[in-house]
Structure 1
Amino acid sequence: MKLAAAELRTVALPLVTPFRTSLGTQTVRNALLVRVLGADGEEGWGECVAEDEPTYCSEYLEGAAEVIRRFLLPALFAVPNLDPAGVAPALAHLRGHPMAKAAVEMAVLDAVLRARGTSLAVHLGGVRPSVRVGVSVGIAGSLDELLDTVDRHISAGYARIKLKIEPGWDLEPVRLVRETFGTALMLTVDANTAYSPADARHLAGLDAYGLALLEQPYDPDDLHGHAELAAKMDTPICLDESITSARDAAAAIRARACSIINIKPGRVGGYLEARRIHDVAQANGVPVWCGGMLETGLGRAANLALAALPGFTLPGDISATARYYDSDVTAAFELDGDSIGVPDGQGIGVAPDRVALDRLTVGSLRRVGRPSR
């Protein structure tokens, strides 16, 4: 494909309820969408999952838009025959910015695979027509509110409940959820780097509650601390923010810093690198699952395709649309039992609803290249 034009849109999706983690509280999800057009009429969509502020990682939404507009897209315009596998090499001279790079790679994947008549799931090597999914529960205002929220999600059919935790909101909420809903519930916790090695003894108290995993308790660069904690706890340690590439995954596995990996395509620079992390983990017998970043339906569709790969044996954070949004830029994704179907159409398998897209678009529409057709 010869890239002919591109445009960037920021959309604002109000959340059904505020979502609080140790990093802060969100009431609206602002997302950056990338549309690319090929010289022969190809069209593809990508989504940048960077947040408004650089709290989860160093990237943030406005900065990602600037990087895409000023650097990434011009570099891709210079490629005479752009293939998805060529996106990363074409951008390798530009350091960092994996979420921005993931967005343009996703758009190119969508465009090229649509032209080829192939789905993203098939291209990546997916083996499942649907994937089991879990739900992430933010830090609640009270224990009663937490129990009501968990009960609602279990009743909806989710295969796994993940509780966000932070110092002061950890052992007691976990104990109460476990005692209320029983040992059959697959229960995990996510710290989003809120703890330090000084908290190791306290975190070991989580072993009493039969958790499937403890996610990212320490700073992303502290593999040694995670390895020491993993040696002390029965609860498996899962890494998220620490894993930004297949090389990182291999290093973490060698260091015994984790026994499970959460793969977020935006965090690692795109779906092709996410597949490489999956392959490294699978070769080492390490299960993986697909994390979520409050994506719109575009990113949700692509994540489902990734989660169809064989190594994704744990339910991912790819909840039904209604978990977060009353209105989305695509048709809603819905639970079927404890699973969601993997889109099998060409490319990512979904396209924006133009009416909804225009309604949810905020700010100016920025075009790069020659005008859109």
Structure 2
Amino acid sequence: MIKIKTITLYLISKRLKLPFSTHLETVNDREAIIVEVTDHQGFQGYGEVVAFSSPWYTEETVSTCFHMLKDYFIPLLKKESITHPNEVTALLNKYKRNQMAKAGLETAIWDLFAKRQQMSLSSLLGGSKTKISSGVVVGTSSIKDAISQIESYLADGYQRVKLKISPDHDINLIEPIRKQFPNLSIMADANSAYSLKDIDRLKALDQYGLLMIEQPLAHDDIIDHATLQKEIQTPICLDESIVTYEDARKAIELGSCQVINVKIGRVGGLQTAKQIHDLALQKGIDVWVGGMLEFGISRAHNIALASLPGFTIPGDISASSRYWDEDITLPEVTVENGYIEVPKGPGIGFDINKFSLEKSTVFKESFSLI
């Protein structure tokens, strides 16, 4: 049995090195909630709530997640006992949705359990890779800045780039970048900016040999995406539409996509993320690990997940230094020749930079489960 003694929530905030822009929002300062779970023997596990400060990506925010953790999920753990982290999702699903709040707590318990077992989180999940390939997101609307960023990222060894697009900023962005980098592996992320009325415009993107186009249509749709995929050659990748295992199963059966972006926070934790990976592997659907402008703790969980065999496309897992002057983990995540080493140490394999964590903490609250 996992006997949790205390759970501490840290509300933190850090300024990004560069603003991150989509057609929906520009993020300058990144807030998050760090979840610290301590057991009776003093082992500590860490998770990270990756919701944004405003509900532009999903309905969740940092504030709503703090509320759900404090008033519902942590009290629920106080009432119920668990023996393995794969039991946490079913327990928390007593309450609907709120996937990112659930994931922050669930991943902390996975880390705690792995440390208690003296196993790496990667091994505990069934990961087989010793290193993972790394991709990067270009979050700017300026073509000049995008080309400059890509040149820098290629020099650092990143293996693919993702461009943020919308109907008024797609061909005019992709065309000059493809001309400048004819062999570059490019994917485009639309964040639901298009509708079926834009089929001809989306068809026009086929000529640029994109790796995929991510979430072109509505955030909660799988029906129209199936229609669109029949009309375009570029593989569709679903992101926001896949919130549960059932979403993934139905999307695959309908032919709504050829690729799924798996984000631990979006699907409610590692257990569901692994189930989606296993299903996709069985059905011949490509998967990759998506990013959320994370701090080092969530980045570490992403690395462990990406070590599973089905994750063959470079994920949005980049070096800590791309976002932060100082991350909250030690060592910081680094990329060498396009790859990130999978830690072999217990749990997530990274220590917590307590000084950086405390310096970034805006508010902190602890809860006793005794």
TM-score, length of structure 2 as denominator length: 0.97
Contact 1:99 1:269 in 2 (8 A): yes
Q: What does 1:195-274 align with in structure 2 at a 5 Å threshold? A: 195-274=194-273
- 1:6 maps to 7
Superposition deviation, residue 350 in structure 1:
1.2
Contact 1:9 1:33 in 2 (8 A): yes
Contact 2:48 2:104 in 1 (8 A): yes
Q: Distance in 1 between matches of 2:171 and 2:123?
A: 42
Q: Distance in 2 between matches of 1:311 and 1:370?
A: 37
Contact 2:78 2:369 in 1 (8 A): no
- 1:325 maps to 324
Contact 1:13 1:328 in 2 (8 A): no
- 2:130 maps to 129
- 1:351 maps to 351
Contact 1:329 1:352 in 2 (8 A): yes
- 2:312 maps to 313
Contact 2:15 2:324 in 1 (8 A): yes
Q: Distance in 2 between matches of 1:87 and 1:51?
A: 23
Contact 1:119 1:349 in 2 (8 A): yes
Contact 2:10 2:35 in 1 (8 A): yes
- 2:335 maps to 335
- Does 2:175 correspond to 1:151? no
Superposition deviation, residue 326 in structure 1:
1.2
Q: Distance in 2 between matches of 1:222 and 1:114?
A: 39
Q: Deviations over 1:81-109 (max 9, x none)?
A: 44201211221211111110111001111
Q: Distance in 2 between matches of 1:222 and 1:96?
A: 17
- Counterpart residue type for residue 272 of structure 2: E
Count of residues in Structure 1 that have an aligned counterpart in Structure 2: 368
Q: Structure 1 pair 259/81, CA: closer, same or farther in 2 (3 Å)?
A: closer
Q: Deviations over 1:310-339 (max 9, x none)?
A: 110100000111111111111311111011
Contact 1:4 1:77 in 2 (8 A): no
Superposition deviation, residue 168 in structure 1:
1.1
- Counterpart residue type for residue 169 of structure 2: W
SS for the counterpart of 2:329 is coil
- Counterpart residue type for residue 26 of structure 1: V
Contact 1:53 1:60 in 2 (8 A): yes
What RMSD over aligned residues (CA atoms) do the two structures have, in Å? 1.2
- 1:188 maps to 187
Superposition deviation, residue 297 in structure 1:
0.5
Percent identical:
39
Superposition deviation, residue 260 in structure 1:
0.4
- Does 2:74 correspond to 1:73? yes
Q: Structure 1 pair 40/216, CA: closer, same or farther in 2 (3 Å)?
A: same
- 1:91 maps to 92
- 1:367 maps to 366
- 1:46 maps to 47
- Counterpart residue type for residue 153 of structure 1: Y
Contact 1:2 1:77 in 2 (8 A): no
Q: Deviations over 1:143-179 (max 9, x none)?
A: 2122111111112110001101112110111011101
Q: Deviations over 1:198-245 (max 9, x none)?
A: 111111111010000000001122212111111111100000001112
- Counterpart residue type for residue 345 of structure 2: G
Superposition deviation, residue 351 in structure 1:
2.4
- 2:282 maps to 283
Q: Distance in 2 between matches of 1:290 and 1:225?
A: 24
* Structure 1 ranges of 4+ moved more than 6 A: none
Superposition deviation, residue 365 in structure 1:
1.1
Q: Distance in 2 between matches of 1:104 and 1:171?
A: 41
Q: Structure 1 pair 107/232, CA: closer, same or farther in 2 (3 Å)?
A: same
Q: Deviations over 1:234-280 (max 9, x none)?
A: 10000000111221111001110000000000000101110000011
Q: Distance in 2 between matches of 1:36 and 1:262?
A: 28
Q: Deviations over 1:114-163 (max 9, x none)?
A: 011011100111111110010001132x3212211111111211000110
Q: Distance in 1 between matches of 2:90 and 2:229?
A: 36
Q: What does 1:50-65 align with in structure 2 at a 5 Å threshold? A: 50-65=51-66
Contact 1:298 1:351 in 2 (8 A): no
- 2:169 maps to 169
Q: Structure 2 regions of 5+ residues with no counterpart?
A: none
